[in-house]
Chain A
Amino acid sequence: MNNANEEPVDIWGRLDDLDDAELAMLVEAAASVIADNTNEAGARIYLEMPPRPAGQILKSTLADAGVAVDDEEAAELVRDEVVTRQLAVHVLRSLAQQPVIAAEIEVAYRARQRMLVIDAGVISAAALLLLVLKLKRVKIGGVDVSFYDARQSALDSIRRMLGM
């Protein structure tokens, strides 16, 4: 939390150092921005999808992308705290390379920080992961933002985690 009179602390340069509460909020901000800027009807459904169906959809989505995981591995990708943190950081790092979406995410994050209640939430990377894997692109302020790199980064991460 920064004092209103100070410069806001950089978030993109210290993704690995963000504590779980900050990272959870950044993941939530990213998922919210993406879901709001896509023409895909029903994208927001991923934001409230609980772990079990999220794991099932993730499994089939990864299969379509050539990454075969079983039910247990899919559940670990959405539930395991260490795994979800790593995945979240990889995806966010890719998104940070695109100034337009990075700026929008940061605006959302700062707005959320200014709320009276900042709950120490848990990192729920499943929604962000599914959005990035399923959507090809979004348009923010008239600018096309592609998820190709973020998608590849996520898939590479998952392959490494699962020892593929």
Chain B
Amino acid sequence: MVVQPGLVDDLQWWLGSFDTTFIEWRRVGGPADRTRAALSWFWDRSEFRIIREALALPHFDWAEIVDCLLALGSGSSHEWTRELWVEVANASERLAERDAAAAAIVALYAFAAWEGALGEDLLNDPPDDGWYIFPLHVGRNLFAADAVWTSQFIVNRANEFLEYASIRLSGQHIRARSIPYTELAAHVARRIDEYVADLAWDLQVACGPEIPNFRAELAAMFWTLGDVPRAELLKDTREPVYKPSLQTLKELVAVSISRIPMDPFLQYIWLELKDRQPIDLRQHSALFALINNFYEGSSPVSLFEVWGGSLSKAYARILIASMRGPVADEDRVKLREAWSLFYEIIADRDPLSEFRLAGLCNLVLTDDAQQRTLIWHDLTRVASRLLATLTAESDFTPYHCCLMLPFYYLEDQSLESEVSAANALEHHRSGGLLYHLALVPPRVRTANEPMWNLLGEEATLLYALRGSHFVRLIPHLPRHYQVIETWGLPGSREEERPDNLLNDETAKQALRDTWTQLSDLWARMFEVEPDYAHRRKYPYADVEAFTEALTTDEISLDPSIAPTPP
């Protein structure tokens, strides 16, 4: 039976995209001499003659390897001999002592043959014994070859599948047999932490006052991530110079790694460190592979070209230049043109990029100080609206502190300005708390039947809000939530497939509808209990409201008689 390739297709893609040894293998077409020798030695063994002859092994060319893996994985290649392939998988770990890259490829062949042999039965219950053998050898050998990202990928997939199986089948024995995966996952996680720490260490060294240094580049990274105070300190090269702590830089590296696949502006700042002193970014090969990758479609900006190059590259270079000193006139002209084009072509399709570009333009192009301040104030409102929208949509994309940027530029130092700035900051915070402030209502202060009925309606709508919030979270949850089981309850339609119930777009629309209904409900509450309605509709507490709350002794109803949600 021929089936579509599955995991092995993902594995070869990961390997050729994110792990340096194999990226290089793919790029030049063949492996290092040591790996060739190891592969030749392995497949020369008499016990594997059958496989060697059937598949014309060894393969050295990357394309040849991928073709063979995909053929094996689709079950179309040759007769499956389980015992022999188990022997291959087991022997691959001993091969790792000679050459880990060779061992990883050998283990991949065994894995692909197993996946192809099982076909559609791969994900059946109970898990095939091969789940405890083939992915584990692949994961271990990849780890030994320093291919941490692909190792992490296969370990996580195997672990998730086995965890889910252990839940469905009440299988403590499955859990016990999965322990090697947990241990390997811990090793991989620790290795990645070490790589992050290694790069952070080098970045700290590169923050010194000596020339060359990467102070401007790091300043640009912090600025792009919304940390303007640190960016300003790094801009300053007067002694004693500020060097971020190792922990701060570890967080910078960790946040960057998580954001780069979706954040071309940040990626291109990192790419400005490539092949330049004082540190050799390529030596941090595992992280470099992530930084240097091409993430197609990561955002509309990633495909935007200006002056024959990418907008992201222009953003990075101009921002870094601005961290060194005044920006050249030529770059100011380019930035102005880029902004016009961006606004015309992309604009609200990528609000974060628009926001950052507007911030950069204000920094570089606005010469009048008063005008610049007004624009920063405008941008605080944009940031707050954006955050509130993202929160209302239950968008779980981690924006970190990117939207905090303009708030650091509200620098007027008078009492009136301080209050105004505090209110602007709080407005932003309350946008991020929108969901929570809606979900957990204040206690009521009066008791009457119309209010009880309205509170009952509110409780139902809040329940709906939680449900839609949950559906939007599902893509971030473990496998057992990707394959939802619903149990019949009175009134539920058992013939419904889970897919229809758990559609992300439907959940987004449901959220919009629920927020509208809540808003309408709170408007109706004004006629019955205006104080409660006001606190629901306008949960944001400015300095005035906060001051009142400090010492308010307005009582709420005793909890024992207040209504509670269903």
Q: Within 8 Å by CB, do A and B touch in the complex?
A: yes
How far does the alpha carbon of A39 sit from the alpha carbon of B565 in the complex, in Å? 64
Known: A53-B198, A53-B201. A48 touches B190 (CB 8 A): no
Q: Report, as a range, how many residues of chain B touch the other chain.
A: under 10
Q: Is B194 an interface residue (CB 8 A)?
A: yes
Which B residues lie within 8 Å of A52 (CB)? 194, 198, 201
Q: Is B375 an interface residue (CB 8 A)?
A: no
How far does the alpha carbon of A52 sit from the alpha carbon of B198 in the complex, in Å? 6
Cβ A50 vs Cβ B190 within 8 A: no
What does the 1/0 interface line of B397-419 toward A look like (CB < 8 Å)?
A: 00000000000000000000000
What does the 1/0 interface line of B193-217 toward A look like (CB < 8 Å)?
A: 0100110111000000000000000
Which B residues lie within 8 Å of A48 (CB)? 246
Cβ A51 vs Cβ B198 within 8 A: yes
Which B-chain residue is minimally distant from A49 (CB atoms)? B201
Q: How far is the CB of A107 from chain B (nearest CB, A)?
A: 27
Q: How far is the CB of B205 from chain A (nearest CB, A)?
A: 8
Q: How far is the CB of B527 from chain A (nearest CB, A)?
A: 52
How far does the alpha carbon of A53 sit from the alpha carbon of B202 in the complex, in Å? 9
Which A residues lie within 8 Å of B202 (CB)? 53
Q: How far is the CB of A60 from chain B (nearest CB, A)?
A: 16
Q: How far is the CB of B24 from chain A (nearest CB, A)?
A: 18
How far does the alpha carbon of A53 sit from the alpha carbon of B201 in the complex, in Å? 8
Which A residues lie within 8 Å of B197 (CB)? 50-51
Q: Is A21 an interface residue (CB 8 A)?
A: no
Within 8 A of B (CB), among A14-59: 48-53
How far does the alpha carbon of A51 sit from the alpha carbon of B194 in the complex, in Å? 7
How far does the alpha carbon of A79 sit from the alpha carbon of B195 in the complex, in Å? 12
Most buried by B among A48, A49, A50, A52: A50
How far does the alpha carbon of A52 sit from the alpha carbon of B190 in the complex, in Å? 14
Which B-chain residue is minimally distant from A48 (CB atoms)? B246
Which B residues lie within 8 Å of A122 (CB)? 190
Within 8 A of B (CB), among A54-106: 79
Q: How far is the CB of A83 from chain B (nearest CB, A)?
A: 15
Most buried by A among B190, B197, B200, B202: B197
How far does the alpha carbon of A79 sit from the alpha carbon of B201 in the complex, in Å? 17
Chain B interface main SS type: helix
Chain A interface main SS type: helix
Most buried by B among A48, A52, A53: A52
Q: How far is the CB of B219 from chain A (nearest CB, A)?
A: 23
Which A-chain residue is minimally distant from B246 (CB atoms)? A48
Q: How far is the CB of A26 from chain B (nearest CB, A)?
A: 20
How far does the alpha carbon of A50 sit from the alpha carbon of B201 in the complex, in Å? 7
What does the 1/0 interface line of B437-458 toward A look like (CB < 8 Å)?
A: 0000000000000000000000
Which B residues lie within 8 Å of A79 (CB)? 194
Which A residues lie within 8 Å of B198 (CB)? 50-53
How far does the alpha carbon of A79 sit from the alpha carbon of B202 in the complex, in Å? 18
Which A-chain residue is minimally distant from B250 (CB atoms)? A50
What does the 1/0 interface line of B171-194 toward A look like (CB < 8 Å)?
A: 000000000000000000010001
Which B residues lie within 8 Å of A51 (CB)? 194, 197-198
How far does the alpha carbon of A49 sit from the alpha carbon of B202 in the complex, in Å? 11
How far does the alpha carbon of A79 sit from the alpha carbon of B198 in the complex, in Å? 13
Which A residues lie within 8 Å of B194 (CB)? 50-52, 79
How far does the alpha carbon of A122 sit from the alpha carbon of B190 in the complex, in Å? 9
How far does the alpha carbon of A50 sit from the alpha carbon of B190 in the complex, in Å? 12
Which A residues lie within 8 Å of B201 (CB)? 49-50, 52-53
Q: How far is the CB of A80 from chain B (nearest CB, A)?
A: 12
Q: How far is the CB of A127 from chain B (nearest CB, A)?
A: 13
Q: How far is the CB of A129 from chain B (nearest CB, A)?
A: 16
Which B-chain residue is minimally distant from A53 (CB atoms)? B201
Which A-chain residue is minimally distant from B187 (CB atoms)? A81
Q: How far is the CB of A9 from chain B (nearest CB, A)?
A: 27
How far does the alpha carbon of A48 sit from the alpha carbon of B202 in the complex, in Å? 13
Q: How far is the CB of B296 from chain A (nearest CB, A)?
A: 32
How far does the alpha carbon of A51 sit from the alpha carbon of B190 in the complex, in Å? 11
How far does the alpha carbon of A122 sit from the alpha carbon of B197 in the complex, in Å? 15
Q: How far is the CB of A31 from chain B (nearest CB, A)?
A: 16
How far does the alpha carbon of A79 sit from the alpha carbon of B197 in the complex, in Å? 14
Which A-chain residue is minimally distant from B197 (CB atoms)? A50
How far does the alpha carbon of A26 sit from the alpha carbon of B198 in the complex, in Å? 24
Which B-chain residue is minimally distant from A122 (CB atoms)? B190
How far does the alpha carbon of A164 sit from the alpha carbon of B202 in the complex, in Å? 32
Which A residues lie within 8 Å of B246 (CB)? 48
Most buried by A among B194, B200, B202: B194
What does the 1/0 interface line of B232-246 toward A look like (CB < 8 Å)?
A: 000000000000001
Which B residues lie within 8 Å of A49 (CB)? 201
How far does the alpha carbon of A51 sit from the alpha carbon of B201 in the complex, in Å? 10
Which A residues lie within 8 Å of B200 (CB)? 50
How far does the alpha carbon of A148 sit from the alpha carbon of B194 in the complex, in Å? 31
Which B-chain residue is minimally distant from A120 (CB atoms)? B186
How far does the alpha carbon of A79 sit from the alpha carbon of B200 in the complex, in Å? 18
How far does the alpha carbon of A33 sit from the alpha carbon of B200 in the complex, in Å? 26
How far does the alpha carbon of A29 sit from the alpha carbon of B246 in the complex, in Å? 21
How far does the alpha carbon of A53 sit from the alpha carbon of B198 in the complex, in Å? 7
How far does the alpha carbon of A53 sit from the alpha carbon of B246 in the complex, in Å? 13
How far does the alpha carbon of A52 sit from the alpha carbon of B193 in the complex, in Å? 12
Which B-chain residue is minimally distant from A52 (CB atoms)? B198
Which A residues lie within 8 Å of B190 (CB)? 122
How far does the alpha carbon of A49 sit from the alpha carbon of B200 in the complex, in Å? 10
Which A-chain residue is minimally distant from B247 (CB atoms)? A48
Within 8 A of A (CB), among B230-266: 246
Q: How far is the CB of A137 from chain B (nearest CB, A)?
A: 28
Q: How far is the CB of B111 from chain A (nearest CB, A)?
A: 26
How far does the alpha carbon of A50 sit from the alpha carbon of B191 in the complex, in Å? 11
Which B-chain residue is minimally distant from A51 (CB atoms)? B194
What does the 1/0 interface line of B299-332 toward A look like (CB < 8 Å)?
A: 0000000000000000000000000000000000
How far does the alpha carbon of A53 sit from the alpha carbon of B284 in the complex, in Å? 12
Q: How far is the CB of A85 from chain B (nearest CB, A)?
A: 15
Which B-chain residue is minimally distant from A50 (CB atoms)? B197
Which A-chain residue is minimally distant from B284 (CB atoms)? A52
Ordered nearest first, which 10 A-B pairs have the shortest CB separation? A50-B197, A52-B198, A50-B198, A51-B194, A50-B201, A53-B201, A48-B246, A50-B194, A122-B190, A51-B198
Known: A51-B194, A52-B201. 16 other contacts (CB 8 A): A48-B246, A49-B201, A50-B194, A50-B197, A50-B198, A50-B200, A50-B201, A51-B197, A51-B198, A52-B194, A52-B198, A53-B198, A53-B201, A53-B202, A79-B194, A122-B190
Would you list 11 pairs from A and B whose C-beta atoms are within 8 A, ordered by A residue?
Answer: A48-B246, A49-B201, A50-B197, A50-B198, A50-B200, A51-B194, A51-B197, A51-B198, A52-B201, A53-B202, A79-B194
